[in-house]
Amino acid sequence: MKQFKMNNFINIIIIWIILSIDLISKFFIFKYLHLYKSYYINSYLNLYYINNYGIILGMFCNHKYNLIILFINILVLILFYYINIRKKSINFINSLIIAGSLGNFINRVINGFVIDFIDVHIGNLHYPIFNLADISIFIGIIFLIIKYMLYRT
């Protein structure tokens, strides 16, 4: 039981760190960058501040309150799963997903939109603009897929 409490404490710290970095980065982007202006970093990375009123690729942008309800339900499901799983590695993976989800959820509730600003491109091929919370969610999902693929074999 002590080990479980320590793992939970560590995972809460991980969530807090990722969430803090995400929200601070969004605050600075909102405060200091101009909307729809590109800031060159290098040949494959720009900062480009946009307000994302939807979800992936801006889908469902006219459904603000439905998105908030959807995100609350997803967070409740993840938290329920998180509380009931005792495996350290899966809790770490869930911490990544929870931190990213909370970052975007808080941003959406406060602003009515999510601040995206990372623009990755190779030549004229651009990946959709995203933020640090999206990276956390993406890495968590990749680790979750790998974990389940290894578990199945």
28, containing H or E segment: helix 2-32
Of 60, 35, 19, give the one whose Cα is nearest residue 117: 35
- What pLDDT sits at residue 124? 84
The Cα–Cα gap between 120 and 129 comes to: 7
Q: Which of 46, 103, 108, 116 is an active site residue?
A: 116
Half-sphere exposure of 148 (CA within 13 A, CB side): 6
- What pLDDT sits at residue 51? 95
Q: Which two tokens stand for residue 136?
A: 């956390």
- Asked if residues 91 and 85 have their Cβ atoms less than 8 Å apart, the reply is yes
Q: Where are the beta strands (DSSP E) in 83-142?
A: 114-122, 125-126
Q: Which of 67, 82, 96, 134 is an active site residue?
A: 134
- What pLDDT sits at residue 138? 94
Between CA 40 and CA 42, with CA 25 as vertex, the angle to 5 degrees is 20
Q: In which domain, by residue range, is 110 found? A: 2-152
22 is annotated as an active-site residue: no
How many domains does one find in the chain? Answer: 1
- What pLDDT sits at residue 43? 93
Tens-level pLDDT at each residue, the chain (153 residues): 555 566 678 888 999 999 999 999 999 999 999 999 999 999 999 999 999 987 655 555 556 677 677 777 877 887 777 666 655 555 788 899 989 989 998 998 899 899 999 999 998 888 899 999 999 999 999 998 998 888 876
119 is annotated as an active-site residue: no
